[in-house]
Structure formats: C-alpha cells, structure tokens
C-alpha cells in the first residue's frame, strides 16, 4: 500500500522490514524498529507524524544536522556529473576532500586513505602500523569501541567483542584513565593520569616492547562513556610510544569533525598521533565515508613499495563530494564554534544544574556537544543504575528512562547506565534548552530506582 505521498505507508514499511531486514546487534524477534519518515536539522519525524529532537545525532554522526541543504545539493550535483570512479584515478572531489581533511588534521597527518566507514579505517590503520614496525601486537583499552569488523571488534573493549573474540587477534587490552570509576585507586586527576601511564608502560614492558606495533585510543572515549583523558595523559602516551618505537593511533571516528567544539579532539590536548582514523562527522554520514590520516613517516614507507590494502569504493565520488560540502559549510557557518559555545553556555551548565536536582545522576562529563550523564543507584557508592551489560528486566530502569524521553519528543542516546547528550553541532540554544527540559523530566523516572527513593 502507498500513502498520499506515493511512498509506501507505515504498515508496508514495517512488514517488509520485519520480513527482510536483518538488524545490527539485535535479537531479530525482540525488536520493533520505529518507522521514520524524514529528518531536518536537529529533528526527525516518525511515520505517525511524531517529532523527535535528535539528542543522539543518530549514531553520533549527523554533526551538521539532518538534510543540510548545501550537502544535499552537492550530492545531487555530483550524482548528475559522476556517480562512481575507481580509486586508482585522480578526480577533483577526491583530491579536494583529502586536501580539506589534511588541512584540518593535526601535525603532519597529510595523506588520506579513504574507506567506507570507521571500522575499515581502524583495520587499515592497524595494518599500516604492523607493516611500519614489523610487529604484531596492538594495545587498546577495555573501555572502548573501535568497530565491528574482525580486527576492529577484537580491539573493542566493550562486551560486543565477546562473541567475536578469537583470542588470536594480536590484541592486548589495558585500562585507560577514568577517575570516577578509577581502576588505580586514584583520588585526583594527577594520580589517575600518572598511574594509568605507569600501567600502560608496564603492559608494554611485560608484553615485550619489540612485539608491540601500536597503541590505539579514542582521543575522548565515546560510546563507552564520554571519558575525557586527564591533562597530560595523551602527551604521556605519545612519549611512551616514542620511547618504545610503537605507533600511536588516535581513533577520532566519533570525536572528530566538530563534536568537541574543535575540529578534532586531539586539538584540545595538543597531541599529534602517527595515524588518525575518522568517519561519521566528516560528511555526517550522508554517504558512507571514513579514512585514515597518515603521518609523513608512515606514508614514506609506501613511496617505493605498494600498500597492500584497498577497497572498490575508496574515495567514492558521492561520499567525497558530500565531505567537501560538509567541511566547507562547517567553516562558512562556524558550526564547530557553535558546538563549542553550546557546550560552554548551555549543555555544560544546564546538565550540572540538572544533576543537582536528581539523585540518579552520579557524574556529568563532556565538552562541546559530547556529554554523558553517568546514572547511579547511589551517589555514595557510585553503583551504576543498571549492572554492566544488563538486559531484560535488569535493564528496566534505563528502558523506562529512554521511553520517558521518547514520549516527550526527545530521542536519547543510551548505553548501559549512561545517557549521552550528543546532538548535532548545529543545534540552536533554544533546541538545546528544550532538550534539557525533557531530560530533566525523564530523569525523575530514573530517580525512582535509586537507593534514595528506597529502591
Ligand atoms: N571507532 C569509534 C570510536 C566509533 O565510535 C565507531 C562507531 O561508533 C567506530 C570506530 C566504527 O565505525 P563504523 O560503525 O563506521 O564502522
């Protein structure tokens, strides 16, 4: 059946989805995906006409909002001119996208290898590090997400790894800094920083420095909690890597391209990795695109010998055209500056005020349009509102909280015991305040599950 618009109606969309779409990370029989009609700016609408303020930026990728007219026009224009061209050719939009990205990445990360998304970027960064060093092992943190392809999921720390962990991927996990739930019994940021660095160095020494190709970190850990590294940590990792001849990879797939109120999260810490992975915000996911920004030293390795990796759609013209338009629009409209101001003036102060009113909020952390509320049963013990990796009944408090947000017209980002506040970088002050008011109301639902409420 079709609706008045000539497109399939809601029942038809839902039926074909149920019959034929196999969804990510889900027990297929236990999900009921919302049928969505359209998006615009900071909002999207379901097929019943309900509007949602998108506090998730989908999967934290629509940094420029939904349907930015300049990006839509660039894709349309490119489609009319050249839809596809193999990666072996030099074409204008690919060259220009690479130039604009290299111009923004820190230090000497001047060469861009394009992929279709974040996981492939991570796969290739690790391959480059191994070829560069001739070593096999890669170190990553337990609190991390790096993607769902074979190497990337093994690098991932969170429980999504378990089902795919081959225990033979060459990955060694360690603990990064996180003062609120310190693994190092630290009481200050300085202690946490020093002890986390000592732990990393010890891990490298015990693994055998001559076996370690790379350390990969999310500059600010995203899905696993919006964890901001303490001052000095990333500089310390850089120094440890240099001392042991280890490649330093920063994964900026989620943190990059404006989310932190700077082009890259690395800019906040004045650190330059050897390789930087990106995706999501580079073109807000309008067409799949990711990549690796490569230092001069690593790129030089492949001046005279071939790089053994490639993808049919590497540097796809539609993806590159949308990246060029996105990066230009972000600069022309000061979208990165907007993210910084919204964080400093609205989200930061607003979330801290909300935290004072709600016993379920244990910690507020973040920057720009990249924030998390760590929800707890008790502020004293910091026991998470739901257990690690909870599902079903055990996850009820978070499910109730998420439903309360949706009922009130806010689409939240929820992971374990946290809600992340990750709207588009283009969000207006009024929209941000509207979203905070809805969060404030929905947190009363979470409060009912705290020790303070007798739960
Ligand atoms: N790295 C980080 C930090 C991410 O947040 C993600 C996705 O959320 C990925 C890698 C994987 O990206 P993709 O889903 O595009 O493969």
What does the DSSP 8-state code read for residue 249? Answer: E
In 3-state terms, what secondary structure has residue 276? strand
What share of the chain has pLDDT > 70, as a percent? Answer: 100
**With bands split at pLDDT 50, 70 and 90, how would you rate the model's confidence at 375?**
very high
Q: Which architecture does CATH list for 34-67+334-453?
A: Alpha-Beta Complex (3.90)
CATH number for region 69-332:
3.40.640.10
25-51 mean pLDDT: 97
Q: Give, using CA atoms, the residue closest to atom 1 of ligand 1.
A: 146
Domain boundaries, the chain: 34-67+334-453, 69-332
Q: Give, using CA atoms, the residue closest to atom 5 of ligand 1.
A: 254
| Cβ atoms 361, 445 nearer than 8 A | no
Most ligand 1 atoms within 8 A of CB, residue of 146, 220, 283 to mutate: 146
User: In the prediction, which pLDDT does 452 show?
Assistant: 85
d(CA 53, CA 373): 18
| Numbers of helices and strands, H then E, in the chain | 15, 15
Least confident residue range of 64-78, 156-170, 255-269, 322-336: 156-170
What does the DSSP 8-state code read for residue 13? Answer: H
| 279 CA: nearest ligand 1 atom | 15
pTM exceeds 0.85, yes or no:
yes
Most ligand 1 atoms within 8 A of CB, residue of 145, 218, 266, 285 to mutate: 145
**From ligand 1's centre to the CA of 60, what distance in Å?**
10
d(CA 295, CA 274): 5
d(CA 156, CA 356): 33
| 290 CA: nearest ligand 1 atom | 15
d(CA 223, CA 362): 18
Q: Counting beta carbons within 10 angstroms of the beta carbon of residue 234, is it exposed (0 to 12), middle (13 to 18) or buried (19 or more)?
A: buried
- 151-175 tens-digit pLDDT: 999 999 999 999 999 888 999 999 9
User: In the prediction, which pLDDT does 455 show?
Assistant: 75
**From ligand 1's centre to the CA of 382, what distance in Å?**
28
- 440-455 tens-digit pLDDT: 999 999 999 999 888 7
Most ligand 1 atoms within 8 A of CB, residue of 117, 118, 120, 284 to mutate: 118
Output the DSSP codes for 112-172.
EEEESSHHHHHHHHHHHHHHHH---EEEEESS----SSHHHHHH--SGGGGGG--S-SSEE
Q: Give, using CA atoms, the residue closest to atom 12 of ligand 1.
A: 118
Q: Which residues line ligand 1 (CB under 6 A)?
A: 59, 117-119, 122, 145-147, 218, 222-223, 251, 253-254, 279, 290
Q: Give, using CA atoms, the residue closest to atom 13 of ligand 1.
A: 118
User: In the prediction, which pLDDT does 217 show?
Assistant: 98
| Cβ atoms 288, 72 nearer than 8 A | no
Angstrom CA distances, 316 to 123, 254, 313, 447, stand at 18, 21, 5, 48
User: In the prediction, which pLDDT does 407 show?
Assistant: 98
200-208 mean pLDDT: 98
Say if residue 41's pLDDT is above 90.
yes
**With bands split at pLDDT 50, 70 and 90, how would you rate the model's confidence at 6?**
confident
| 59 CA: nearest ligand 1 atom | 8
User: In the prediction, which pLDDT does 31 show?
Assistant: 96
Say if residue 2's pLDDT is above 90.
no
Say if residue 310's pLDDT is above 80.
yes
Decide which of 395 and 1 is more confident: 395
The two three-digit tokens of residue 229, written as one number: 């590294």
Say if residue 4's pLDDT is above 90.
no
| 60 CA: nearest ligand 1 atom | 8
Say if residue 5's pLDDT is above 80.
no
């Amino acid at each position: 059946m079709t609706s008045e618009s000539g497109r399939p109606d809601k029942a038809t969309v839902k039926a074909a989805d149920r019959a034929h779409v196999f969804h990510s990370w889900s027990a297929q029989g236990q999900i009921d995906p919302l049928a969505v009609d359209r998006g615009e700016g900071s909002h999207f609408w379901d097929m019943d006409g309900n509007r949602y303020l998108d506090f998730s930026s989908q999967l934290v990728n629509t940094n420029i909002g939904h349907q930015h007219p300049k990006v839509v026009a660039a894709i349309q224009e490119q489609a009319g001119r050249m839809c596809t061209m193999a990666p072996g050719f030099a074409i204008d939009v690919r060259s220009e996208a690479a130039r604009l990205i290299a111009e923004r990445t820190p230090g000497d990360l001047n060469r861009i290898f394009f992929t279709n998304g974040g996981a492939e970027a991570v796969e290739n960064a690790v391959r480059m590090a191994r070829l560069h060093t001739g070593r096999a092992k890669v170190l990553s943190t337990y609190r991390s997400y790096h993607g769902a392809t074979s190497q990337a999921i093994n690098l991932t720390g969170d429980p999504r790894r378990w089902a795919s962990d081959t225990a033979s991927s060459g990955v060694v996990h360690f603990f990064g800094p996180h003062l609120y739930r310190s693994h190092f019994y630290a009481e200050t940021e300085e202690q946490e920083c020093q002890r986390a660095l000592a732990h990393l160095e010890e891990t490298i020494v015990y693994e055998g420095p001559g076996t370690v190709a790379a350390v990969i970190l999310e500059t600010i850990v995203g899905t696993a909690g919006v964890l901001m590294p303490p001052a000095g940590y990333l500089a310390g990792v850089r120094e440890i890597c240099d001392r042991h001849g280890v490649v330093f990879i920063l994964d900026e797939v989620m943190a990059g391209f404006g989310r932190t109120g700077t082009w890259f999260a690395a800019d906040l810490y004045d650190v330059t990795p050897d390789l930087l992975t990106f995706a999501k915000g580079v073109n807000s996911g309008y067409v799949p695109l990711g990549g690796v920004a490569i230092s001069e030293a690593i790129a030089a390795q492949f001046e005279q010998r071939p790089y053994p990796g490639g993808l049919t759609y590497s540097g796809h013209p539609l993806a590159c055209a949308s990246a060029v338009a996105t990066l230009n629009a972000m600069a022309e409209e000061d979208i990165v500056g907007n993210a910084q101001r919204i964080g400093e003036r609205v989200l930061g102060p607003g979330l801290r005020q909300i935290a004072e009113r709600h016993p379920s909020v244990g910690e507020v952390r973040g920057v720009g349009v990249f924030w998390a509320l760590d929800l707890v049963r008790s502020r004293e013990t910091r026991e998470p509102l739901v257990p690690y990796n909870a599902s079903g009944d055990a996850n009820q408090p978070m499910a109730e909280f998420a439903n309360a947000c949706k009922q009130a017209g806010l689409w939240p980002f929820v992971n374990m015991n946290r809600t992340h506040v990750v709207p588009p970088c283009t969000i207006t002050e009024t929209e941000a305040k509207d979203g905070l008011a809805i969060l404030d109301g929905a947190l009363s639902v979470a409060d009912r599950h705290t020790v303070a409420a007798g739960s």
